[in-house]
Structure 1
């Protein structure tokens, strides 16, 4: 029985580092998945907000504001954020269906996980489209 002394410490030293890495990878994966879903929501909110405006300029401003507000409300802190809006659907004649498309890109910080092999940041992108009411008056 004396030969087993210290074997638990050796087993722990062998098993613990991979276990810790697995937990950190799971946390990183969870952060990426939940952040992606929240960025999807921000893009949907921005597209919907842009689609109810009459002019491209007001739609651009509203979409930018809606995306920033949605990300903030959901607790997402982006190292950098870009919001691209295609307001071409606002220029179609009344009676025809148009769409507004918004693409939101957010650079999520992963450096606080201190996991080797995981990049410090990851850029997540989401695109959403919203239909413009075909019979709503549009601005010039």
Structure 2
């Protein structure tokens, strides 16, 4: 039928690159998708960390301007929650720990208020295989209490 022998036709089919683009895409595409998801997870953690830092700073500053430890505690919790909400951070769980020891030092001495904000950031919606479902981020900030401001009891 054909002038070309059977083995020559078979050899030509084995050496052709027909369909090789699809095989290359099948090999490379999952790796690219995983890299993109990993980059998104890293970006989410970095931006969330910066926003949690800002929330801790806001809470520490708010606590340092109050005269009593109870008022400082309430103000720091409210400031941290408002800051996280304003910045669009939705934490799976949040805790705010305040050290108001600087409010009890005598007038004329420098005291500090330290606030630690802990937020659990959800990563499960990224569909990254092997990634944890959530990551807990913690930030601590300290604010100086005005040494000449009256202190409460």
The two structures have a TM-score, normalised by structure 2, of: 0.90
Q: Which residue of 2 aligns with 1:106?
A: 119
1-structure distance, mates of 2:52, 2:94? 10
Computing the radius of gyration over CA atoms, which structure comes out larger, 1 or 2?
A: 2
2-structure distance, mates of 1:117, 1:85? 35
Q: How many residues align?
A: 140
**Runs ≥4 residues deviating over 2 A:** none
Find the residue that maps to 1:4 and give its secondary structure.
Answer: coil
Alignment match of 2:52 (pick from 39, 48, 51): 39
Alignment match of 1:15 (pick from 14, 24, 28): 28
2-structure distance, mates of 1:118, 1:87? 37
1:24 aligns with 2:37: yes
2-structure distance, mates of 1:51, 1:26? 38
Tell me, which stretches of 5 or more residues in structure 1 are unaligned? Answer: none
RMSD between superposed Cα atoms in Å: 0.8
2-structure distance, mates of 1:4, 1:44? 60
